[in-house]
Every structure is written in structure tokens, then in C-alpha cells.
Structure 1
Amino acid sequence: METSNIFWNHVKRNRWAYLMGFALLSISSLLQLLIPWLLGQFTDKLQSSNLAYGETVSFALWMTAAGFGIAFFRSTSRIYLFRLARTLEMRVRGELFRHWEKLSAQYFNNQRIGDLMSHAISDVNVIREVTMQGYFNIMEAVLLIVISVIAMVTSVNPLLTLLTMLPLPLLSILAYRFNKRIQQQSADVQAAVSDLTSRVQEFTAGIRVVKAFVQEQEERGLFARDNQHAVDMNRRYVRSNSLFTSLSAGIIGFSFMMSVVLGGIMVLQNVITLGEFVAFNTYLSLLMGPIENLGKVVNLLQRGTASENRLLQIFRTQPEVVDDIAADQAINHIDGEIEIRNLTFAYPEADRPTLKDISLKVAKGSSLAIVGRVGSGKSTLVHLLVRLYNPPRGTVFIDGHDIHEVPLRTLRGQIGIVPQDQFLFSSTIRDNIGFDPHPYTDEQVIEASKVAQVYENIVEFPDQFDTALGERGISLSGGQRQRVSIARAIIKRPSILIFDDSLSAVDTITEDLILEGLKSVMNKRTTIIIGHRISSVQAADQILVMDEGQIVERGTHEQLLRRNGLYADMYHKQLLDQEAERQDGRDEEQLGRAKLLQGGAGA
């Protein structure tokens, strides 16, 4: 998408099609001017009592033919031009979506979903309306005004034409005065619609939380506030638009008054004939519609300019993560060797680094586990490995290549990741597991679900793998969403597998089953496991302990326990928690037996 002017770029791209539409509209406009001339001739003959029956029929037939011609060519030109507007709508919306796909994760961190939806729907619709109604009305107005004024000057009276047209330039002054106000108010309307859309989206996404915390009344209040704000912004826009339209109609009415008064005087003084007076006012009637439409077009153009500026701002936003100039497109496979050298990284909006002086090496086919407190930088490290954010050059290497040299398609296509936020699409379970450009067979989908220990849950649903999930997979439990996400990652058979705290929502028994099933998948694949439970990471070839963005300990499970540091402290605390859970279970079991014995004694 060219980022200078969406409208004119579209016109230039389709200039021959627009020329054809313009030609059809020109024929329609010329035919419209035939009717005033016929009426003038008819009136003069009627006044002079020199009108034969055959001439009356001839006038009627000519007017009927002109009417049918106007209808045919005008409707054909509208269909032609409106189709071009729909093409623009489809193209802009498609290019907007493709541009969003290119933008980095950081962009979406700073955007509201309601704003994005408003851009894709409301702003694009406004641009379509400008291209459809705006261009058509402008072309029709220009044609009719130019041709009508020429006809009025040459066939009626130049002075009468000049005096009648004199008030009309006031419309341009009026449009200029209302220009900025309407444009700003249109932007305010779109912003209010975005706020309202965001409010509805957040409410529907968080409906369970709203109900759990009994926040229905507060949510109604917030929605009512945003709803009222949208109404107020629309009222301001409607008031300005109505005032502009009313003043425009007043100016047009004044032109008609000038025509009737001055034209009537000229008829009485025999300067013009009665037929010329009728023809002149009919020409003027033809002009008034397009001129009045120009006022509406001005308002529409202001809305279109506001919407276009918002869309151009998006198109001008460049993705931060792209294939580097030095990227070797010949690299279409990675083996899985990872090396990080003295990596220090800070998010764009952060005032201090999230990762500090990280160095590690993961051999091809080996496993790395990362543990640490919340906020220690574990997930950030993973985000850099798949280049959701750009690491500094010379710090992250894949198979000996700087990660900036590896094409993004190869890098991300060869990495299977189970993110901390298990996002599922509102399609079927099969589609979510097989979410990949390459098609998968039903057998592969079933096998992946079995390895992820979710197969038994899926077959209990009435539609099994064809079960449609709700928004973000809300119809599944947290553990089921995690396991579907695991199946989605392992079905790719990638060179590098990353599990970002992906077993936190399953019980320890299911965790053991999943880890056992993953052994065959992890074999000869580089695997990175981020977790809080020691049980999920203790079998890794190498374990890193992170704290405040730094690696504070590293080694195997046994080595770290012997060091008696942070890892050992976490391990012993989890053992105590597990023992407490088991003790609670034994206490409940003993209490239940005691109640049974008491019941038997009472009997």
C-alpha cells in the first residue's frame, strides 16, 4: 500500500476504468440537459398557440427517450464506479491485514483491540463511501455545472446566469469554514466508536471474571459512560453537519429567488421568452441537486480524510522485526544448536534491562531447563529466540549463524513453541492442533493429542476433534488448553521445542504422563523447558536458575542440589508443599473413616 494518498493512488491505478465511468456519466448529463431545452421549446410553441398534435406527441416521445437514456447511462455509470469502490474496500482491508501480520509484537502491545477493529471496519467503510458516493457526486456536479452554465449563458441570457450564480461561491466559503470543525468531529466520532468497541470486547472476553467478582453493575456503568460519549460525539457532528446543510440550502434558495424575480422581470420586458424562462429554471433545478450534494461531499471528504490519515499512520508504521539485509535465504533448515553470548536486552518502553549478560550454549539434541522467580526474564529469553523482539547483533546464534542471518520463515518454521498464554482459535480442536501451513493427516493429529495426554478428553466431546471451541478456547479447561497447545507444537516435528511454563495447569500425575510421552518427541531435538515445578525440569541435561534477569546458578539437577543455593531452596519448598498436600489427603481420608465408624456404632 502506497502511503501518500489512498484515494488518488486508487484512481491512478484504475484510471481507464474511471474514464469509462466518467464517459457514461457524461452521456447521462448531456441527456439531462436535453429536457430543459425541450421544455423551453414546448412552452414557447404552447404560448404562441402554434403547437400541433403531432408536435406534442413528438415532444413527449423525445422526453421519454431522454428519461430512459438518463436512467440507463446513470445507473450503468453508478454500477461501474461503485464496483471500483468495493474493489478499493477489499484491497485496503486486505492490505491492512497483511501489514498487521508484518508488524512486530511490540506494536500490538500498545494497541487496543477495539481500535484495530474500528480501523479495519469503520475507517475502511468511510473510505469506500468517499470513493463510491464522493467521487460520483463530484464528477456529476462538475459535469452538470459546467454544461448547464454554458447552456444557460448561450441559450438564455448571460446576465441572468451571472446574477443567479453570484451567491453560489458562498458555498465554497462555507465549506472552508466548516472544514476543520467537521474533520475534527469526525475523528472524535471514530475515537468514541473505538472506545465503545474496546469496552464490549473486554467485557465479552472477561465475562467470567465479571460474574465471579459481581461487577455487572460497574460494567454497566462503564459501558453507559462510553455509550453516552459516543452519542455526544455523534450529536456534535450531526449539529455541525445539519447547520452546514441548512446554510447551503439557504444559499441555494436565494439563487432560486434571484432567478424567479429577475427572470420574471426579463419576461415581462421581453428580454427573454417564457420558454427560455422555463428552460432557465429547469437548468437551475438540475444544478441545485449536484451543488447541494457538493456540500454533503465536503463533509464526507472530511470524514474520509480523518479515516485515511489513521490508516496511513498504520501503513507508515514499519515492522521492527524483519529479515535482515544480511539474511542468508539459502538457510532453509536449522539443526538446533543454540549459543548466547553476553546478551543484555531491554524492552523499548523499559528503563532498565530485562536480561543482563546472559551466556549459555545448548548442544544440538540436548535439553535445557530454565527456572526462576516470576519476572526473572525466562519468557523474554524465549521471545528473543523466535525473534518476537530483536536481540542485539552478535549475541544470539543458531547453528553458528547470528540469528539475524537466519530468515524468519526458516527460524519460526523450525521452532515449535508452547507459549505461556495458551491462545486457541475459535475453530475446531483439529484446526487448532494442525495450525500450520503444512496439512496434517487425522492420524498425525490423533498421535499428537495422545502424546500431549489430551486425546481421552477430546473423544469425550460429542463432536470429538470437530468440536468448535469458544473465544480463545474458553470452552476447555486450563489444563486442556495447555495440552492442546502442546499437541500443536509437537505435531510440527520441529528442530527446537520450547515449553514456556506449559505444564502449570495440569496435575502432577498428568505432568508425569506428558513428560513420559514427550521423551520420544524430544529425542534428538533441542528442547527448552521453562517451569516452576522442579519435577518438570529435573531430567534436563542443563538447568539454569535465573533471578532479576541474570543467570545465578547452572548445572544438572544433582549438581544444583549439592550447591544448596536458590534451586535447592525451591526444590525443598516444593517437597514440603507436596508432603503437606499428601498429609491433607490422608487427614481427610481418616476423617471419612471415622464418620463411617461412628455411623455404624450409632446404628
Structure 2
Amino acid sequence: MTRTNIFSSHIKQHRVSYVAGFALLSISSLMQLLIPQLLGSFTDKLQLGTLNYDDAVRFAVWMALVGIGIAFFRSTSRIYLFRLSRMLEMRVRGELFQHWERLSATYFNNQRIGDLMSHAISDVGVIREVTMQGYFNIFEAFILITISIVAMVGTVNFWLTLLTMLPLPFLSFVAYRFNKRILQQSSDMQRAISDMTSRVQEFTAGIRIVKAFVQEKEERELFTKDNGHAVEMNRRFVRSNSLFGALSSGIVGLSFLVSVILGGTMVLKGTISLGEFVAFNTYLSLLMGPIENLGKVVNQVQRGWASEARLMEIFRTQPDVVDDVVAKPEIDRISGDIEIKNLTFSYPEANRPTLRDISLKVPKGSSLAIVGRVGSGKSTLVHLLVRLYNPPKGTLFIDGHDIHEIPLRTLRTQVGIVPQDQFLFSSTIRDNIGFAPYPYSHEQVENAAKIAQVYDNIVEFPNQFDTTLGERGISLSGGQRQRVSIARAIIKKPSILIFDDSLSAVDTITEDLILEGLNSVMNERTTIIIGHRISSVQSADQIVVMDEGRIVEQGSHEQLLRLNGLYADMYHKQQLDQEAEREEDQELELARRLLGESRREVSAGENAKLGGASKVSFSKGKLSGGAGA
């Protein structure tokens, strides 16, 4: 959103509709002025004794017609104007979501989910209320106050009107005094709601950790604290709002007091008639509702400004990663030839470079494996390949083009990545595998699941591919989530396929099956595999070992073993671990066999005893039978 003001841009965009809606409201307000005149005429006729039955019926009919007219035009204007406010709510929320989609990953690294939810729900809701009730009440108050004062001066008495209106300017003073307080307290209340929402979101996302560490009581105390803070901020806001409303009502009551005392005196002196006095107080009653509503409007407008300021801060945030000015729209496909030249990269908040002097060539259709200690920069390198962050210009090339020349849509469409976190959406397995702008057939989804070795698990579910997953795919095991993520990347048939430590949650047997299935997929694609297990990377065409942001070793599996460096050290340690695991498995298997043999021996002994007892019983029976014979 490039506009500088949400409210003004909305009014400009729908100015014709607003004019029509306010015109209907004006007709309703003008019709309300007929009621004091009818009541005044009725009172004068009644006082003079000239009121007859026909006059009473005529007054009743006119009052009914005016009431129906007011209800029709006021309701129509409310529907018209409130519809515009709902349109604004839908537009702002939609533009906010689209803007979030445009923002870079660095923005979300520094934001809490609760804050984002509060912006999308609470702040946008406040904006809607301002355009719904705020504009309606402001315009109605302006129309009624203006025409009522004109009518009171023109038809009743100038001095009575002037003296009655004298207390009302104090409303402006009171509104000014409460301006900053209400604005600050509104912001505090919204922040407290954001904190509480974030607390609930973190609790629900980490419920298994909470239960595993028996932290229910502590979490409940933290939520109680945030909840109490939100209530306290709301109480302060309500107190200020109530005090403002009370002062406003007191000022309005003072105007009524002046009207009754001064107007009553004028009636007794004959300066005005009883009917004019009744009409004057009816005019004043019509004024009091809109004037009191102005107090609510001040509250709404202050909250609206605070919410608008928070939303505009988001809209003014620009994404770090966008199509560069040197981007070439004609590049709509890439083949996967990658070259990195002297790449040094630092995160914005980092004190030192994460990657240092990286130079590397990955020919089209070949495979590259990246291994190294935790924090050595492996994932950062692949994040730069899909431009989640911007690499320095002239350092990263694909098909001979600087990566900044390739449109983001082309780049990210042609690169399939399986990230470390294996994020899945709360949808069906089919939707998660076929997560793309274009639809996939059932056969394509099944084939991707088979390659990723997750097909057999899926068909065991009652609804198979139509099984709905829980939040973040929590209803699947870690290994199943990883394999569904792999299937999601495979089905795209990208030119570059990246596996960011995506086989860590599966056993070695499943890993071998996945790698075997991926061979057919990897043959025609440039493949990059980040892994910690040497078994998952040793068959790559080339392997690079990273340490502290640098490439310290490079070559094939056999070449790196001959170097006897970091890679060889990792390999031998893993070999020892695997050997220890095999020995442990053999010991467990031996123990199970011995336990099984012991059970069989015990069972055989018991059967022998039971067999002997049966023979004895049989012999006894036989003997007994013989005796009986």
C-alpha cells in the first residue's frame, strides 16, 4: 500500500457512494426537525383550546409518516455506509496479507505471531468501527446540530438558544484534554492483547514440550499475568472513556438546566409560548444524542488513529528481497548450472560474516553435497540460492546469469527445496504434497509419495491422501513429515533440487530407499544435499566441507577420505557410532533369543509335568474303572 492514509484513501475511492449515503442521512436528519414543529403546534392548539378531533388525527398521521420516513432513510443510510466500512475492512485485511507475502524472511524473524494476528484482527476491526460508527455519528451530529440551532434561533428565541448553547463548547476542551490519554491507553491495550495472543499461540504450538516438562502450572501463571495486564490496560481505557462520557453528559445536562430555568421564565413572562418552549426542548433533545455520541466518536477516532499508525508502519516496511532493476523478464526458465565466485555474506544483525570467500561450480545435472559442523553456514548458502536473502552482486550465477537478473518467480518456481523444519499446513496430505499454483493429478501425487517412501504410510490412514493433518502436520511422525516435504519438492520437477538436512529424521534403511528412489529424479537435475550423515552424501559428484563459513575441503568421497581431514574424521566417528549401534543391536537380539529359549524350556517343563499328571489321572481312572468293574 503506497497511500499514506487508510481513511482518506478509502473516502476518495468511494466518494460517490459516501455522498449518496450522507445524502440519505441528511434527509433523515431534516425530517427529524418536523417533530418539534408538530409538537409545538399541537401544544399551542391544546393550550388555546382550539384542538379538535380532526386536528388530533391529522397530527397523529403526520407524526406517524415522519417517523416512518426517518426510520426508512436512516436505516437505508446506515446500511449504505456500513457496507462501505465492511468493504474497507476486507480491502485493508487483504492488502495487509498481500503485503506480508511480499516482505522478506528477515521481517518475520523479528515479529511475534501474536502481534501479527492482533494487527490483522484487532487493528483492522478498529478501523472498521471508525468508518462504520465514527463517520456516521460525526456527520449526523454536524447536520443535526447545525440545522437544529438554525431552527431554534429562527423559530423560538435567539437569546435562549445562545445561552443554552454556551456550555457545549466545553465539550471540545474536555475532548482535547482526554486526547493524548485515550490515544496512549488505546495503544497500551492493543499491545497487551498482542502479548496475550502471543502467549496463547506459543502455548498451543509447544503443548507437547509443556506437558513433557510438567510446566502447566508455570505456563498458567504466565498466562494469568498477561491476562491480568490486558484486563488492567482495558480498565484504564474504560475509566478514561467513562470519565469523558460522564463529563460530556454533565455538560449536556447543564444545557438542559439552562433551558428549563430560562425557558420556563420566558413562558411565564409571555416572551415565548408554551408550544415554542416544548419545540425548543425537543430540538435540544435531538441535539443531545449526537452531542453525546461525539464523545464516543472521539474515543473511536483516537483508537482508529493508533491502529492506523500501527498498520501504516507495516505498509511502509519494504521487502529486502525484490526483483532487481537489472532483472530480465525474458528469463522464464533455468537449467541449473550454478557458479559461486568469492561469495562473502553477513546477516544484517550479525557482527561477522556468516560465509567467507566461497567459490564453487556445480554443473547442470550434477550433485553437490555440503557437510560441516552446526553453524558453519550450510543452510545460509542454499537460502542465498533461492534469494531468501540477497547475496552481493557478482557473486552467485545460475546459467551464466547473475542471480539478481533472474526474476524471483522464475527462480523460486524452478528451485525445489526441502527445508529443515518440514513445515506442513493444516490441510490434507494431498494438498501438502501438491502445494503449487497449478493442480497435480492423483497419479502425480502418488508417484511423488512413492519416490519419497511415504506412500505405504499414507495408504494405512483411513482417508489415505485425504487425511487432514493437525497444526504444522503434528499428526505425522517426524520422519513422515520429512518424507511428505520431500514429495512436495519432487512433484514440482524443478531444475535445481535442494535437500537441507532432510533425511535426519529417518532411519538408515529408509534413507537408502529414499536415495534409491531419488536417483531417477536427480539424474536430470542439479541436486544439492546438506547432511550430517556421511551415508546420505557420499555418492554425490562432489562434496564440500564447510567450517566457520569457509570451504575447508572439497572433492569426492574417496578423495576426501585420503585427505584425512575434517571429512575423514566425521566419517570415522560415524562408522564407530554405527558399529556400536550394530553391536548393541546384536546384543539385544542375542538377549531376545536367550529369553525365548528360556521361555521355551520352561514351557516344555510345564507341559511335561502336565503330561505326567494326565497319565497318572488316566491310570487312576483306569484303575478306578477296573475296580468298579
TM range (shorter): over 0.9
Map of 2:468 onto structure 1:
468
Please give the per-residue CA displacement for 1:197-231, whole angstroms capped at 9, x wherever unaligned: 00000000000111111111111011101000000
Please give the per-residue CA displacement for 1:147-194, whole angstroms capped at 9, x wherever unaligned: 000000000001010000000000000000000000110011110100
Distance 1:326 1:297 in 2: 50
Paired residues for 1:319-330 under 5 Å: 319-330=319-330
Map of 1:555 onto structure 2:
555
What residue identity is the alignment partner of 1:362?
Answer: V
Q: CA deviation at 1:594?
A: 2.6
Map of 2:611 onto structure 1:
none
Distance 1:240 1:501 in 2: 55
8 Å contact from structure 1 (residues 3, 312) kept in 2: no
Distance 1:427 1:175 in 2: 50
Distance 2:99 2:299 in 1: 29
8 Å contact from structure 2 (residues 2, 316) kept in 1: no
Percent of pairs with identical residues = 77
Q: CA deviation at 1:563?
A: 0.4
What residue identity is the alignment partner of 1:559?
Answer: Q
Q: CA deviation at 1:598?
A: 3.8
What residue identity is the alignment partner of 2:34?
Answer: L
Paired residues for 1:146-545 under 5 Å: 146-545=146-545
Map of 1:81 onto structure 2:
81
Distance 1:3 1:185 in 2: 27
Distance 1:363 1:601 in 2: 64
Distance 2:384 2:600 in 1: 65
Map of 1:109 onto structure 2:
109
Q: CA deviation at 1:3?
A: 3.6
Q: Which moved more, 1:40-49 or 1:506-515?
A: 40-49
Map of 1:23 onto structure 2:
23
Q: CA deviation at 1:595?
A: 2.8
Q: How many residues align?
A: 603
Distance 1:197 1:302 in 2: 23
Partner secondary structure for residue 33 of structure 2: helix
Q: CA deviation at 1:381?
A: 0.3
8 Å contact from structure 2 (residues 10, 88) kept in 1: yes
Distance 2:42 2:578 in 1: 103
Partner secondary structure for residue 348 of structure 1: coil
* Structure 1 unaligned spans of 5+: none
Partner secondary structure for residue 51 of structure 1: coil
Please give the per-residue CA displacement for 1:404-427, whole angstroms capped at 9, x wherever unaligned: 000000000000000011000000
Q: CA deviation at 1:588?
A: 1.1
Q: CA deviation at 1:129?
A: 0.4
Q: CA deviation at 1:601?
A: 5.0
Distance 1:79 1:101 in 2: 33
What residue identity is the alignment partner of 1:387?
Answer: R
8 Å contact from structure 1 (residues 145, 287) kept in 2: yes
Paired residues for 1:112-123 under 5 Å: 112-123=112-123
8 Å contact from structure 2 (residues 81, 136) kept in 1: yes
- So what's the TM-score if we normalise by structure 1? 0.99
Please give the per-residue CA displacement for 1:518-553, whole angstroms capped at 9, x wherever unaligned: 000001100000000001100111100000010000
Distance 1:380 1:551 in 2: 13
8 Å contact from structure 1 (residues 2, 9) kept in 2: no
Q: CA deviation at 1:45?
A: 1.1
Please give the per-residue CA displacement for 1:341-382, whole angstroms capped at 9, x wherever unaligned: 111111111111110111101001110000000000000001
Distance 2:444 2:99 in 1: 33
Distance 2:184 2:257 in 1: 35
Distance 2:148 2:282 in 1: 10
Q: CA deviation at 1:52?
A: 2.1
8 Å contact from structure 2 (residues 3, 9) kept in 1: no
What residue identity is the alignment partner of 1:177?
Answer: R
Q: CA deviation at 1:597?
A: 3.7
8 Å contact from structure 2 (residues 192, 233) kept in 1: yes
Partner secondary structure for residue 342 of structure 2: strand
What residue identity is the alignment partner of 1:216?
Answer: E
Partner secondary structure for residue 411 of structure 1: helix
Partner secondary structure for residue 416 of structure 1: strand
Q: CA deviation at 1:599?
A: 4.1
Q: Which has the larger radius of gyration?
A: 2
Map of 2:32 onto structure 1:
32
Distance 1:365 1:507 in 2: 27
Q: Does 1:67 align with 2:103?
A: no
Partner secondary structure for residue 578 of structure 2: helix
Please give the per-residue CA displacement for 1:78-137, whole angstroms capped at 9, x wherever unaligned: 000000000000000000000000000000000000000000000000000000000000
8 Å contact from structure 1 (residues 365, 526) kept in 2: yes
Report runs of 4+ in structure 1 exceeding 6 Å deviation: none
Distance 1:266 1:9 in 2: 50
Partner secondary structure for residue 68 of structure 1: helix
Distance 2:106 2:316 in 1: 15
8 Å contact from structure 1 (residues 192, 233) kept in 2: yes
* Structure 2 unaligned spans of 5+: 606-629
Cα RMSD (Å) of the superposition? 0.8
What residue identity is the alignment partner of 2:284?
Answer: L
